[in-house]
Amino acid sequence: MQINDINSFLGYYSKIKNRTRKLFEYIPEDKMEWTYQEGKFTIGDIIRHLANIERYMYAETVQSKPSLYKGCGVEYAKGFQEVTAYYNRMHNESMKIFAEVSPEDLHKKCKIPGGIEITIWKWLRAMVEHEVHHRGQLYLYLSILNVKTPPIFGLTSEEVVANSD
């Protein structure tokens, strides 16, 4: 999928973000800094990572600036309310930057961490894949905690099987 219109992309991306945000409602407040194994991302780390990587890596690089990503620890936000508000604030800042990307800019190259150059529309597409990847982690973490989560598109796998011929 090639991105030719930033506004239609941002509408699509907002829906992706909303599906991630919907999952936050299922996170037990006392489990925000829980992880399945020492040294691995906590639930809060994943959310802060999504916030910071979007704002300080993706949003910076589409402006032809170097990445400013410095991690995702509790120094950015701690506790359920702070972490979810931080995610929303960073997303709003990022969306303002992305909204300034012109149709011509979408076809320019930007330098990403590691020194590779990539077309901006492809970089934005990678941002969506990155969000979805980490949303999957959140589903897994919540599953490990025995938290019942909503199906992403209205039906569980079992319900799809039951409704199929």
* pLDDT at residue number 72: 98
Total domain count, the chain: 1
Would you say residue 92 lies in a domain?
A: yes
* pLDDT at residue number 152: 76
* pLDDT at residue number 59: 98
Range of the domain at 139: 6-162
Would you say residue 1 lies in a domain?
A: no
* pLDDT at residue number 151: 83
* pLDDT at residue number 164: 87
* pLDDT at residue number 82: 98
Question: Which residues of the chain are under the pLDDT cut of 50?
Answer: none
Would you say residue 19 lies in a domain?
A: yes
Residue-wise pLDDT for 29-64, tens only, equals: 999 999 999 999 999 999 999 999 999 999 999 999
CA pseudo-torsion sign 42, 48, 52, 54: positive
Would you say residue 150 lies in a domain?
A: yes
Write the CATH number for 73: 1.20.120.450
